Amino acid sequence: MESGAATSMQDTPNFSSFNAMAQAVGCNQSPGAIRLACLKAVPGESIRAWANGPSGLAFEPTVDG
């Protein structure tokens, strides 16, 4: 993100990539405190494996003011 130009900028947050990551690491709860607790318990290695996999890190920049 620091090198080159961003390919697109969203003007509203889109949580689809985050939700996909949460589901991929086994945190299928609805957004909220229970899912946050689940995500905090996920080992870093699991998140890294997802991020480096074929469907990982599809996050895009968002204009946030």
Q: Residue 11 in contact with residue 64, Cβ under 8 Å? A: no
| One-letter-per-residue 3-state SS of 20-48 | HHHHHCCCCCCCCHHHHHHHHHCCHHHHH
pLDDT tens for the chain, 65 residues: list them. 555 565 666 666 678 878 888 999 999 999 999 999 999 999 999 988 888 888 776 666 666 66
pLDDT value at position 41? 97
Give Cα separations from 16 to 3, 20, 45, 59 (angstroms): 24, 6, 21, 9
The per-residue pLDDT for 36 is: 95
CB atoms near residue 65 (< 10 Å): 4
Whole-prediction pTM value? 0.65
Per-residue model confidence (pLDDT) at position 51: 85
pLDDT value at residue 34? 97
Q: Are 25 and 47 in contact (CB under 8 A)?
A: yes
